[in-house]
């Protein structure tokens, strides 16, 4: 908002020493480059024949290359005022593609109850694809917020940017909201501070007929200091904004949107290269001069001043004290692509309570990107129905049959395919379950009634009354929702459904479980590109699971008596008992087969798995796909943008757990006979509580007998990830483990590889050479 009005003669910087009429003249040079636009009537672009000389005016300093200097501004001055640029000819031109809607909205806050849902309703009603937000008051740039609302199926993704100074006072904050279509085209996410952030989207524009050219979109969300702020704050803002604009590529289409607190007023004919002549009449302020200067320096065009609309559709801010209207929110695009803008206007009828209007711009552009389908998998929860279980078991027995396979890889591939087919037949594919939103229909009706109110001054009293009703209704809905969730928790706890109970706790606790969107490289520099962030995670976990080999390997001793362990191949009884020990609800591995499919497979699956494990026992080699694992980063503590503060959880195929369980059950009795009594780690019947009790008893005895006590606490960094496998197998053999079991364990750790699953995608495959699975 503007707090004061300054005269246009005030000099903002030492380098800014010219009056308004000199801005477009100083920013245009002479050259031979050509400029393409998306106006369907544009066909021939002629070079500028001459530029008027103004010896009395100093040249305007520009940070980047000058504006495309082949466009005749004499024609622009006549056409930009109505959003048109008619030129004659029949050469190349950009054809409008599927239009995209860009919004700029000062929401004042998204921390109040129901504001995020109101924003989702507003975007859905106006079909907005990308929206730049100001004054969100959310300062976390590492988190992604899902915006939902009752009655809409579109998913909106909000990314916010902030800093510690703004967090301390609870002010400012900017963000960008993307739809599913725009999210699929996301290339870079660049949070700067509480006033600036940007995204790069993959797109294209049409040229000629049935032809298009790649053009990425660089969208910047900005919130400028108010007009009464100090010159130092304004200079810092525009310097940071200039740095951000310069970080875009030369081929990018730059879209700058936000609350600039700038009144530019009517532009003159000579300022046509900076914007149209349809701005709301007003006295130009200091921020207005700065904004025009910035557009001249960076070849931007104010589309918000380029289309003739009524004053109500042009104004963007309403003063609560005086009731006057001003145009201080703007959207600017790259000068070369100014004619791709089809329309730009303000919308006051929104669900969000704000004294600003939403500025909407329609741009002829097409976004590219592969939309990720939600990871639904199989609807295994339907296996709780006995009829579904029976269908699955019968279909699996039919699919398995009695097929002969030449090796273990083909044998397992046949079993896996049969399980997928049977599960798909019995359960069907999973679906995304949308939880019922907590906002009631009563609240929605009041919000709609408030949205339909006229923007006239005499309706302010009614508007404030309805807003109070909306606030009370939303708080009531929120309270009722909390009561219902608490009752569900009580029912889940009483019935012993711990999985449901902890899911409700996680959903309502507000704990952020996803990986940070702002990740730094090994040098501490932030990574903005999405693919580079994925590669950074793969690089980090490759280092974690590829520690250097041990420099000294203990020689194998043959004097130890071997353990007495059965060397017979696994039986069906062993396989069945190990499958029964699998826990439901655990995540599946790379083969996407959860434990419940093994537990309900029936006799046919047990026989097939037993035959497979017998072949593995004989060949001492596992299927190659069993060596793969999915690594999921889990945040521990510390700074969220540091990869070292995450712990990787490896998801391995469930069938490998069956083989490992068979080996463990055979080796445990022999190991117990050969381990000293003082050893308590990884032994049955000896938990942490027992060891804590023992330690307390020792301390009590020490105090009674007044004897000195020495305690050593040792914490090894990456203890499980840094285990040298060669030394491990050598030690196992030296301790007396039969060679058969050593070879089987070695096969489980041969040619192991991993892929990181993060941001809903998978990284490239990398080899892991250390650690245990």
Residue 543 and residue 564 in one domain: yes
Q: Considering only CA atoms, which of 368, 340, 231 is closest in space to residue 289?
A: 231
- Shared domain for 83 and 126, answered yes or no, is yes
pLDDT, greater one: 373 or 328: 328
Burial class (CB in 10 A: 0-12, 13-18, 19+), 434: exposed
Average pLDDT over residues 366-382: 70
Alpha carbons 446 and 464: distance in angstroms, whole number = 12
* Higher-pLDDT residue of 91, 489: 489
> For 438-480, what is each residue's pLDDT tens digit?
999 999 999 999 999 887 778 888 989 999 999 999 999 999 9
* Phi, psi at 214, each rounded to 5°: -70, 130
* Domain shared by 252 and 341, yes or no: yes
DSSP state of 558: S
User: What is the per-residue DSSP string for 676-716?
Assistant: -TT--TT-TT--HHHHHHHHHHHHHHHHHHT----------
The crossing angle, in degrees rounded to 10, of helices 739-748 and 654-673 is: 150
Residue 301's alpha-carbon distances to 162, 195, 272, 340, in angstroms, are 27, 21, 9, 12
Strands 753-758 and 628-635, by their bridges, are parallel
Instruction: Quote the pLDDT of residue 72.
Output: 37
Higher pLDDT pick, 519 / 69: 519
Band the pLDDT of 378: cuts 50, 70, 90: confident
Residue pair 97/253 in contact by the 8 Å Cβ criterion: no
pLDDT digits (tens, 9 = 90+) for 282-301: 999 999 999 999 999 999 99
Farthest CA pair distance, the chain:
105
- Between 594 and 76, where is the model more confident? 594
Query: Which pLDDT value is given to residue 330?
Result: 97
Cα angle at 130 between 297 and 264, to 5 degrees? 40
- What tokens were used for 449? 């009634």
- Reply yes or no on whether the pLDDT at 61 is more than 80: no
Dist. CA 405–CA 412, nearest whole Å: 9
Q: pTM of whole model > 0.75?
A: yes
In a domain, 265, yes or no: yes
Give the whole-angstrom CA distance, residue 158 versus residue 144: 6
Is the CB of residue 86 less than 8 Å from the CB of residue 41? Answer: yes
556 shares a domain with 491: no
| 379-388 confidence digits (pLDDT tens) | 788 888 889 9
DSSP state of 92: -
Cα–Cα distance between 194 and 139 in angstroms, integer?
A: 7
Give per-residue pLDDT as tens, 565-585.
999 999 999 999 999 999 988
Phi and psi, residue 506, nearest 5° = -65, -40
How far apart are the C-alpha atoms of 587 and 601, rounded to whole Å?
18
pLDDT tier for residue 373 given thresholds of 50, 70 and 90 = low
Closest by CA position to 186, among listed 646, 761, 757, 633: 761
Do residue 121 and residue 270 come from a single domain? yes
Q: 267, 276 in Cβ contact below 8 A?
A: yes
Better pLDDT: 648 or 457: 648
Six-digit token pair at 108?
């004042």
The pairing of beta strand 217-223 with beta strand 341-347 = unpaired
Q: What is the DSSP letter of 414?
A: H
Confidence band for 507, pLDDT divided at 50, 70 and 90: confident
- 650 token code pair: 């490896």
Q: Would you call 740 helix, strand, or coil by DSSP?
A: helix
**Residues 551-563: tens digit of each pLDDT:** 766 565 555 788 8
In whole angstroms, what is the distance from residue 275 CA to residue 314 CA? 14
Neighbours of 493 (CB within 10 A): 13
* Res 80: pLDDT: 37
What letter does residue 57 receive in the DSSP assignment? Answer: S
Number of domains composing the chain = 3
Identify whether residues 156 and 55 lie together within a single domain. Answer: yes
For the ranges 8-17, 118-127, 264-273, the lowest mean pLDDT is seen at: 8-17
Residue 468: domain span: 441-509
Could you give the CA distance from residue 457 to residue 322 in angstroms, rounded to a whole number? 10
Are residue 496 and residue 556 in the same domain, yes or no?
no
317, 350, 367 — which closes off a domain?
A: 367
pLDDT, averaged across the chain: 83
CA atoms within 13 A on the CB side of 456: 3
Give pLDDT, residue 79.
35
What span, in angstroms and rounded, lies between the C-alpha atoms of 338 and 252?
A: 13
What per-residue confidence (pLDDT) applies to 679?
A: 81
Q: Classify residue 409: in a domain, yes or no.
A: no
d(CA 463, CA 172): 25
- Residue 565 and residue 453 share a domain: no
Distance CA 530, CA 521 (A): 13
Evaluate whether residue 304 is within a structural domain: yes
Q: What pLDDT is attached to residue 97?
A: 52
Whether 384 maps to a domain, the answer reads no
Q: Is the residue at 435 inside a domain?
A: no
401 is a domain residue: no
Task: Work out the average pLDDT over 363-373.
Answer: 72
Residues 65-88 have pLDDT tens digits of 333 333 333 333 333 333 333 333
Residues 360 and 446 in one domain: no
pLDDT score of 64 more than 60: no
Q: Is the pLDDT of residue 495 over 60?
A: yes
Residue 265 has pLDDT above 80, yes or no: yes
Q: Hey, what are 171's tokens?
A: 């002010």
Coil, strand, or helix at residue 84?
coil
Last residue of a domain, one of 335, 367, 399: 367
Cβ contacts of 552 within 8 Å, gap of 6 or more: none
- What stretches of 706-757 show up as alpha helix (H) in DSSP? 725-735, 739-748
Query: Is residue 725 within 8 Å of 548, Cβ to Cβ?
Result: no
Residue 759 in any domain: the answer is yes
Residues 455, 351 share a domain = no
Residue range 593-614: average pLDDT? Answer: 93
Report residue 688's pLDDT band, with 50, 70 and 90 as the boundaries. confident
* Alpha helices, H only, 283-343: 286-297, 311-314
* pLDDT at position 242 over 90: yes
pLDDT of 643 above 60? yes
Residue 772 lies in a domain: no
Handedness of CA 413, 416, 422, 423 (dihedral sign): negative
Is the pLDDT score of 38 beyond 70?
Answer: no
Among the candidates 367, 391, 424, a domain finishes at 367
The per-residue pLDDT for 375 is 60
- pLDDT reading at 27 higher than 50: no
Helix (H) / strand (E) containing 443: helix 441-451
Domain of 361, CATH number, reads 3.60.10.10
- Sign of torsion over alpha carbons 369, 370, 376, 377: negative
| 474 closest CA partner among 439, 448, 449 | 439
Cα distances from 27 to residues 336, 355, 373, 402, 545, in angstroms, run: 14, 35, 47, 80, 56
Quick check: 32 pLDDT over 50? Answer: no
Q: Are residues 287 and 309 in the same domain?
A: yes
Two tokens at 392? 């699955």
Same domain, yes or no: 493 and 603: no
Rounded to the nearest 10 degrees, the angle between the axes of helix 460-495 and helix 498-509 is: 150
Which of 82-86, 221-225, 721-725, 759-763 is predicted with the least confidence, judged by mean pLDDT?
A: 82-86
Q: How far is residue 605's CA from residue 302's CA, in Å, rounded to a whole number?
A: 68
Label residues 363-381 b or e (16+ Cβ within 10 Å = b): bbbbbebeeeeeeeebbbe
């Amino acid at each position: 908002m503007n707090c004061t009005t300054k005269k246009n003669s005030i000099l903002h910087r030492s380098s800014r020493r010219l009056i308004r009429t000199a801005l477009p003249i100083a920013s245009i040079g002479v050259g031979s480059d050509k400029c393409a636009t998306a106006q369907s009537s544009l066909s021939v672009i002629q070079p500028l024949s001459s530029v008027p000389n103004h010896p009395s005016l100093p040249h305007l300093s520009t940070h980047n290359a000058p504006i495309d200097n082949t466009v005749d501004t004499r024609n622009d001055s006549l056409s930009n005022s109505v959003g048109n640029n008619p030129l004659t000819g029949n050469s190349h031109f950009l054809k409008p593609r599927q239009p995209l809607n860009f919004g700029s909205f000062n929401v004042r806050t998204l921390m109040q109850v129901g504001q995020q849902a109101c924003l989702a309703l507003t975007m859905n009603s106006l079909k907005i694809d990308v929206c730049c937000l100001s004054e969100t008051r959310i300062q976390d740039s590492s988190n992604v917020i899902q915006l939902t609302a009752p009655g809409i199926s579109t998913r909106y993704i909000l990314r916010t940017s902030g800093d510690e100074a703004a967090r301390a006072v609870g002010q400012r904050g900017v963000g960008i909201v993307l739809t599913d279509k725009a999210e699929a085209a996301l290339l870079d996410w660049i949070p700067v501070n509480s006033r600036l952030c940007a995204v790069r989207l993959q797109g294209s524009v049409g040229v000629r007929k049935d032809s298009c050219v790649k053009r990425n979109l660089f969208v910047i969300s900005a919130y400028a200091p108010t007009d009464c702020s100090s010159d130092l704050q304004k200079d810092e803002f525009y310097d940071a904004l200039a740095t951000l604009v310069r970080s875009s590529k030369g081929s990018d289409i730059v879209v700058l949107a936000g609350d600039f607190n700038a009144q530019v007023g009517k532009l003159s004919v000579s300022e046509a290269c900076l914007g149209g002549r349809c701005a709301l009449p007003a006295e130009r302020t200091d921020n207005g001069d700065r904004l025009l200067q910035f557009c001249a320096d960076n070849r931007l065009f104010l589309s918000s001043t380029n289309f003739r609309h009524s004053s109500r559709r042009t104004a963007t801010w309403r003063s609560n004290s005086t009731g006057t209207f001003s145009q201080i929110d703007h959207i600017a695009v790259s000068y070369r692509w100014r004619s791709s803008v089809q329309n730009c206007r303000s919308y006051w009828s929104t669900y969000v309570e704000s004294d600003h209007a939403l500025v909407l711009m329609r741009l002829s552009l097409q976004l590219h990107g592969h939309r990720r389908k939600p990871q639904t998998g199989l609807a295994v929860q339907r296996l709780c129905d006995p009829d579904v279980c029976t269908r699955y078991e019968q279909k699996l027995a039919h699919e398995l049959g009695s097929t002969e396979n030449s090796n273990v890889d083909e044998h397992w591939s046949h079993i896996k395919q049969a399980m997928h087919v049977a599960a798909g037949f019995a359960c069907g594919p999973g679906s995304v379950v949308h939880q019922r939103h907590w906002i009631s229909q009563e609240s929605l009706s009041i919000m709609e009634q408030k949205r339909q109110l006229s923007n006239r001054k005499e309706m302010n009293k009614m508007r404030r009354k309805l807003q109070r009703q909306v606030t009370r209704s939303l708080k009531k809905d929120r309270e009722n929702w909390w009561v219902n969730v608490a009752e569900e928790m009580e029912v889940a706890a009483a019935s012993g459904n711990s999985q449901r109970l902890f899911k409700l706790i996680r959903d309502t606790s507000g704990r952020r479980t996803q990986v940070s969107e702002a990740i730094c490289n090994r040098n501490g520099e932030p990574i903005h590109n999405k693919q580079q962030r994925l590669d950074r995670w793969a690089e980090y976990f490759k280092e974690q699971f590829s520690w250097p080999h041990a420099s000294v390997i203990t020689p194998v001793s043959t004097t130890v008596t071997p353990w007495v362990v059965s060397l017979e191949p696994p039986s069906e009884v062993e396989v069945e008992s190990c499958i029964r020990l699998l826990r439901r609800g655990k995540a599946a591995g790379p083969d996407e087969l959860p434990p419940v499919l093994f537990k309900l497979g029936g006799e046919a699956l047990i026989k097939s798995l037993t035959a497979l494990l017998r072949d593995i026992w004989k060949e001492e080699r596992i299927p190659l796909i069993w060596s793969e694992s999915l690594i999921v980063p889990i945040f521990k503590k510390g700074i969220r943008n540091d990869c070292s503060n995450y712990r990787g959880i490896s998801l391995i195929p469930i069938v490998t757990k069956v083989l490992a369980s068979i080996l463990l059950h055979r080796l445990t009795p022999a190991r117990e006979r050969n381990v000293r009594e003082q050893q308590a780690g990884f032994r049955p019947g000896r938990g942490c509580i027992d060891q804590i009790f023992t330690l307390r008893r020792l301390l009590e005895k020490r105090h009674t007998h007044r004897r000195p006590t020495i305690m050593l606490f040792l914490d090894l960094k990456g203890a499980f990830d840094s285990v040298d496998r060669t030394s491990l197998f050598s030690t196992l053999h030296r301790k007396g483990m039969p060679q058969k079991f050593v070879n089987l364990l070695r096969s489980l750790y041969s040619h192991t590889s991993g892929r990181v699953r993060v941001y809903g995608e998978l990284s490239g495959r990398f080899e892991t050479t250390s650690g245990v699975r």
